[in-house]
Structure 1
Amino acid sequence: MDDREAEVLDRIGRGLLYTESEAAFQNPRRRADLIFEYNSTRPGATDQRRELLERILGSVGARTVLLSPFHAGFGSNVHIGDDFFGNVNLTFVDDVEIRIGDGVMIAPGVTLTTTGHPIHPGLREDFRRFSRPIVIEDKVWIGSHVVVLPGVRIGYGSVIGAGSVVTHDIPPMTVAMGVPCRVVRPITDADR
């Protein structure tokens, strides 16, 4: 890695702006062909699908179910724990890491995006952007058509209601929903 690449990676790591051209040296880490192959496999080809997931993702736990199709910018920046269930049309915009804990369930049509763009149009040339990691802790359930934005952490055991746009961290053991997503109540023993 040369000095310029190291400087760009430093900016990316700090959530600062960078351009498509500056980050092009990372393109070999993209897994688009493998994702296409995964999405083309038969649902019953479990061994083949598992082998592909292990090649696509940064790490993948035991007993993982990821229904087709799914999409990812890289794939290699996604880390999934044990006992994960991802329903159809899950999209990972993983310019930086997305870390998903154990026992997480994600409904259809969810987007996890680590990347955003500047508000001012003069700053968006060459697809200038910023990226911040997403963390989804253990036992989280994310409802259909949720969008999780850059830098968000969703705490242990939380539930995110369908159609929400998660712009800020969600504390553990809460139900949150809305646009923007807000905590509406704690999860208690009464929910058993």
Structure 2
Amino acid sequence: MTEREKMLAGEVYCAVDSQLIADLQATRGVLHEFNSLHPSETQRMKEILKGLLGFVADDDFIINQPFRCDYGKQISIGRRFFANFNFVVLDEAPVTIGDDCFIGPNVSVYTACHSTDPVERNTRQEWAKPVTIGNNVWIGGSVTILPGVTIGDNVTIGAGSVVVGDIPSNTVAVGNPCKVIKHV
């Protein structure tokens, strides 16, 4: 298997593999073009994002500049998607976002995992776990979503939360670590 194939399979892979580095650089070039556009160039922004992201359900989406991701191709967005300023997605594994999702400013979604052992971590070996966000979800500003998390449908995540585990459908969750505080 290539390092990319290992990455996508959730296996340990070498993060400094030359092909992965080339892919990261190519994505950064596309993001530079996107983030440099005048805000009035909405049609060109959508064209760029449709070429970058793995799946875009419809044309009724907005991702405000600046936007950052690692590869783009592992990101899927549903219908009527909105992401505010400074949306960051480290998409070494799939990131699947449902319909009618609203992402506040400064939200980060991480799929990359690293060893807590410093010697092991310095080998640049890592692995990735997918993140899934259901339908009708509102993620408040400055939320961080960690690898392997699934957020159900009809969920609100309060601003500043750190989501370390799954959040069930029809709930409001807040805090660090993020916990359900209300069922809706």
TM-score w.r.t. length of structure 1: 0.88
Alignment equivalent of 1:71, drawn from 65, 68, 76: 68
The letter for the 1-side match of 2:52 is I
Aligned to 2:12: 17
Q: Secondary structure at the residue paired with 2:45?
A: helix
SS at match of 1:112: strand
| CA deviation after TM superposition for structure 1 residue 27, in Å | 4.2
Shift of 1:128: 2.1
Hey, what does 2:182 align to over in structure 1? Answer: 185
Asked if the contact 1:13/1:132 (under 8 Å) is kept, the reply is no
Contact 1:110-1:146 within 8 A present in 2 as well: yes
Name which of structure 1's ranges 36-45 and 120-129 shifts more when overlaid on structure 2: 120-129
Q: What SS does structure 1 have at the residue aligned with 2:96?
A: strand
Name the SS for the 1:150 alignment partner: coil
Contact 1:20 1:126 in 2 (8 A): no
Find the aligned partners of 1:77 and 1:162 in 2 and give their Cα distance: 25
CA deviations 1:4-30 (Å, max 9, x no partner) are: 41xx45643553432223x44344544
Q: Which runs of 5+ in 1 are unaligned?
A: 188-192
How many aligned residue pairs are there?
181
Across the aligned residues of Structure 1 and Structure 2, the Cα RMSD in angstroms comes to 1.6
Q: Which is higher, the Rg of structure 1 or of structure 2? A: 1
Which residue is equivalent to 1:164? 161
- Counterpart of 2:152 (choices 143, 155, 158) is 155
Q: CA deviation at 1:33?
A: 0.7
Q: 2:56 matched to which residue of 1?
A: 60
Decide whether aligned partners of structure 1 residues 178 and 158 sit closer, same or farther in structure 2, where only a CA change above 3 A counts.
Answer: same
- TM-aligned CA distance change 1:46 to 1:20, over 3 Å: same
The TM-score, its normalising length taken from structure 2, stands at 0.92
